[in-house]
Structure 1
Amino acid sequence: MEGDTIQMQDLFTFNHQGFDDAGRVRGNLDPTGIQPHRSYKFDMAGVTLPKDILRAKRGS
């Protein structure tokens, strides 16, 4: 938060790869590498995330 303004950043971006034969969207959610400041709240809630789920891929 900056003053009274909430600041938001993408944790993932969608990499659109086209459509399949049924017309459904194909693609991947790719992590941006940004670590949320409140990620400890996942632990407090009993939510276990893979360690590398937010790690940006090399070359991204």
Structure 2
Amino acid sequence: MQSEDSDLEFEFYLADRLGRTVAELRESLSQDEYVAWTVYFGRKAQRNELAMKTAKRGR
């Protein structure tokens, strides 16, 4: 159930970022493109977290 909740949350996040509705995303995005977006934003979050940790250590 938790995975389904996080998938739905990401769908709303992505729709918001792309200026579309969830229904529009579901109609137009292939499964491969959806997975690519999840990987992209996951890696982006990791880079941001690493940068924050690095900045804290530099203080």
TM range (shorter): under 0.3
Structure with more helix by fraction:
2
**Which structure has the bigger radius of gyration?**
1
TM-score by length of 2: 0.24
Structure of greater relative contact order (alpha carbons < 8 Å, 6+ residues apart): 1
Structure with more strand by fraction:
1
TM-score by length of 1: 0.24
